[in-house]
Structure 1
Amino acid sequence: MMTTTELAQVLFSTALQPSDELSPFQIRQAVDARLCACGGDPSRCASYVAQEAGDYPETYVRRMRWALGAVADAYATAVAA
């Protein structure tokens, strides 16, 4: 089982944007697809997040807050269903 932080890092590394207004199901699908593309290794996504934080610190915090909230909601919905 992955932590919320790990899931958020995977979501962060996708091309999705907060303005996309995605459903919890779509968030989970995107996380699964990205994780698959990374060979199932969340640390590969984490390295991308670190690079983005260094390259674009002005947008990093906002995007990570979105990713954390989005996966928390998406996976809470999955557990409740």
Structure 2
Amino acid sequence: MPDVLAIARAEALFVSSVQSSECPAPVAVRRAVAESFARLGSRGCAACVAGEFGDHPDAAVARMRWAIATVGAVYQRRRATTRGLALIGATCTT
């Protein structure tokens, strides 16, 4: 189960313009999360996520799964491990 910070980061990634098909590098994920927080704040990100789940629930579920997996891989104690990098690659589907 992700912690509160991981959930907030996943919401920030969810509302960013980064797409799962881009297979973003960890630095791009961190940048997108930071930009979403700067633009909307954590509450604004949560509100946008709620709106997407209301408007497009099927697409929102898939995007949130990707966001949670990606955030988990990128932010896992800030260590670049083979396992973490493999998780990022595993979430990329083209």
TM-score, L = length of structure 1: 0.87
Gaps of at least 5 residues in structure 1 are: none
Q: Work out the CA distance in 1 between the residues paired with 2:20 and 2:79.
A: 23
**Residue 23 of structure 1, aligned match among 22, 25, 36:** 25
Q: Work out the CA distance in 2 between the residues paired with 1:45 and 1:56.
A: 16
Segments ≥4 residues shifted beyond 6 Å: none
Residue 55 of structure 2: aligned partner: 55
Instruction: Compare CA radii of gyration and give the structure with the larger one.
Output: 2
Residue 37 of structure 1: aligned partner: 39
Q: Work out the CA distance in 2 between the residues paired with 1:80 and 1:15.
A: 25
* Aligned-residue CA RMSD (Å): 1.4
Structure number with higher relative contact order (C-alpha < 8 Å, ≥ 6 residues apart): 1
